[in-house]
Amino acid sequence: MSVVAEVPEGVETERIGYAWAINHALAEEMRRDPRVWMMGQDIGKMGGVFGVTRGLFDEFGPTRVRDTTINETFIVGGAAGAAMTGTIPVVELQFADFGLVAGDEIFHKLAKWRYMHGGKLELPAVVRLPTGVVGGAGAEHSQSLEAMGMHVPGLKVVLPATPADAKGLLKSAIRDPNPVLFFEHKGLYRVKGEVPTSDDYLVPFGEAAVRRHGDAATVVATGLMVGRALEAADKLAADDIELEVIDPRTLVPLDMETIIASVERTGRALVVHEAVRTAGAGAEIAARIQEAAFFALDAPVWRLGALDTPIPQDPDLEQLVIPSTDQIEAAARELLAL
């Protein structure tokens, strides 16, 4: 029972942060394919409000790295228009929350225009969405809205939890012919990890990562919660209780096969996400677990998520809204006692 090495042995890596891994993915894909370009607010000389696009303006110039005005409907709708006319836009919204300003463009144009037009239009666009709590950003800058992407067919939904996945999944997103909502966690930007240096390092969509092997219970966690679930698992390991921790990495497509195989071995499942618990992605995952593995379950499928409240502005209070490592540990212990 052990933590799984994220990068296969023998692969050349460098130790860099999650934000820098995203930056490398952008640079590599823009070098590879002249059709790839970017736009967003302050992504040019400034390098973005979180510094993710630093240096790209200098390398690729103002035609392919475009600063926009404050106009989310254009950033996303323009991406849709550009995608259907032969380029591959990778656009940045300053906060995932601002995607709601461009709701029509995300949920109607990107999600539906291929379908509506009999498959004659292609929409290879990536919308980068800095998500989650970051310490005092407040109710309109801290949400985890990924379930909304799952609820409208036509959008792929990606949530990298590690620097290596941030690179490999973003490169896959840029090469995917479909629109992708790429939820990068603001609280993970500075987290460092080993990241493959290869230009061809791709993490495929629809393949969950088993972050830790165990036989006591299956914990399915996304984004920031992957790290917290692993910390909770370490605490339980001190008592010889081994949790299996699975990171789906992409919610659309969703690798239920790996999750179900695990639950069939462990008999117990806890789903953890930072998003509001009610109608979150965890509700869907829990429902699918009980549909597919009901007779393997020794206990009900449990969910942990944010409280049904907006995110408070205060950095201390905001942590009370989302699941903590201690809460994950306690939930796992309670689930195991059932």
Partner 1 sequence: MSTKTAKEAAGAAPEEDSLALDLYRQVTRIRALELLLNRYVKEHGFGGFWHPGLGQEAVQAGAVMALRREDYLYYAHRGLGYALVKGMAPEVLLGDLFGGTGGSVGGKGGGTVHFVDPELGVLGQGGTLGSNFVLGAGAATSVQILGEDRVVAVFFGDGAAARGTFHEAALQAAVWKLPIVWVCENNGWHLSAPFSAQSPTEDIADRAAAYGVPGVVVDGQDALAVRAATLAAVERARAGEGPSLVEAKTLRIRGHYEGDPQKYRDDIADGLEVPRDPLAILRERVPAAEADALDAAAAEEAEAALEKALAMPKAGPEVVTQGVWS
Among 328, 265, 259, CA closest to 297: 265
Please list the residues that pair with 196 across neighbouring strands: 13
The answer to whether 56 touches 30, Cβ cutoff 8 Å, is: yes
Whose Cβ is closer to partner 1: residue 181's or residue 188's?
181
Q: What number of chain residues touch partner 1 (CB under 8 A)? A: 45
Closest distance to partner 1 from the beta carbon of 63 (Å): 6
Site membership for partner 1, residue 116 (CB under 8 A): yes
**Location of structure tokens 């809460």:** 327
Contacting residue, 89, 149, 196, 280, with partner 1 by CB under 8 A: 89
Q: How far apart are CA 219 and CA 263, in angstroms?
A: 9
Q: Tell me the pairing of strands 302-306 and 209-212.
A: unpaired
Closest distance to partner 1 from the beta carbon of 288 (Å): 19
Contacting residue, 118, 239, 316, 337, with partner 1 by CB under 8 A: 118
Q: Which helix H or strand E contains 147, and what residues bound it? A: helix 146-151
Whose Cβ is closer to partner 1: residue 3's or residue 74's?
74
**Which two tokens mark 253?**
């497509």
Site membership for partner 1, residue 33 (CB under 8 A): no
Contacting residue, 45, 117, 190, 265, with partner 1 by CB under 8 A: 117
Catalytic residue among 24, 141, 185, 273: 141
Question: Which DSSP string do the residues of 15-69 spell out, in sequence order?
Answer: EEEHHHHHHHHHHHHHHH-TTEEEEETT-STT--TTSTTTTHHHHHHHHHEEE--
Write the binding mask 135 to 164 for partner 1: x where contact by CB under 8 A, - elsewhere: ------------------xx----------
Whose Cβ is closer to partner 1: residue 89's or residue 187's?
89
Whose Cβ is closer to partner 1: residue 62's or residue 315's?
62
Site membership for partner 1, residue 79 (CB under 8 A): yes
Omega before 253 cis (within 30°)? yes
Contacting residue, 69, 240, 295, 316, with partner 1 by CB under 8 A: 69
- The four Cα atoms 150, 153, 158, 159 give a dihedral, to 10 degrees, of -10
Closest distance to partner 1 from the beta carbon of 182 (Å): 17
What burial letters (b/e) apply to 48-81, b meaning 16+ CB within 10 Å? bbbebbbebbeebeeebbbbbeeebebbbbbbbb
Site membership for partner 1, residue 87 (CB under 8 A): yes
Site membership for partner 1, residue 29 (CB under 8 A): no
Site membership for partner 1, residue 94 (CB under 8 A): no
141 counts as catalytic = yes
Characterise 58 by phi-psi region: left (phi > 0), alpha (psi -120 to 50), beta (else): alpha
- The four Cα atoms 282, 287, 292, 298 give a dihedral, to 10 degrees, of 80
Q: Which positions from 162 through 191 interact with partner 1, judged by CB under 8 A?
A: 177-178
Which residues of the chain form contacts with partner 1 (CB under 8 A)?
Answer: 35, 37, 39, 63-64, 66, 68-69, 71-74, 76-87, 89, 104-105, 108-109, 113-124, 153-154, 177-178
- Catalytic positions are 141
